[in-house]
Amino acid sequence: MAYHYKLETLLTVRRNFEEQCQQKLAHEIFVLENHRKYLGELQTQRFNLVNSFSEYKRKNMQAAMFSLYVEAIEQKDRQINFQHNAIAAQTRTVNTVRSELLEKVKARKIVERLKEKDYLAYTAEEFRKAQNENDELAVLRFNQENILSNGL
């Protein structure tokens, strides 16, 4: 008789939930890395803007151009600040999804441990049945040998 775990479908569902959560975590980490990469680009753009402003400032600069550079730098600072906030929010999202994944892994492992215990009980029962059959065969052989030895 082949072993069949009665909660196999539950185990499959839990594995599927875990896999979906892993995919969600991978996506959220990908988004977080993109936010960080964009922040690096913004910081590089701001650095280049400040350097360009410094070089242009050494020469005679018109007030309108000065105002334009200052506004552009302030705009980059606002974008960088916004990106820092986006990174913080995405980090919280990643941590939330990680904790969800941890819960899903724990739920799956619980069912897997139950399956292992059930399998051990099944193998012990099968061993016991085989041992009983062997004992019965030994008793039958002994009885047949006694009948044959006493009868002759």
Q: Cα-flanking dihedrals φ and ψ of residue 83, to 5°?
A: -70, -35
Residue with tokens 């360009």: 52
Between 16 and 5, residue with greater pLDDT: 16
Instruction: Read off the pTM.
Output: 0.76
**What is the predicted pLDDT for the residue at 14?**
95
Closest to 18 (Cα-Cα) out of 109, 93, 113, 117: 109
The CATH code of the domain at 8-112 is 1.10.287.1700
Residue spans of the domains in the chain: they are 8-112
In the chain, the percentage of residues whose pLDDT exceeds 90 is 74
Distance between CA atoms of residues 104 and 112, nearest Å: 12
Predicted confidence (pLDDT) per residue in 96-128, tens digit: 999 999 999 999 999 999 999 999 999 999 999
**What is the predicted pLDDT for the residue at 98?**
97
Q: Furthest-apart CA pair in the chain: how many Å? A: 132
**What is the predicted pLDDT for the residue at 60?**
80
**What is the predicted pLDDT for the residue at 63?**
84
**What is the predicted pLDDT for the residue at 2?**
85
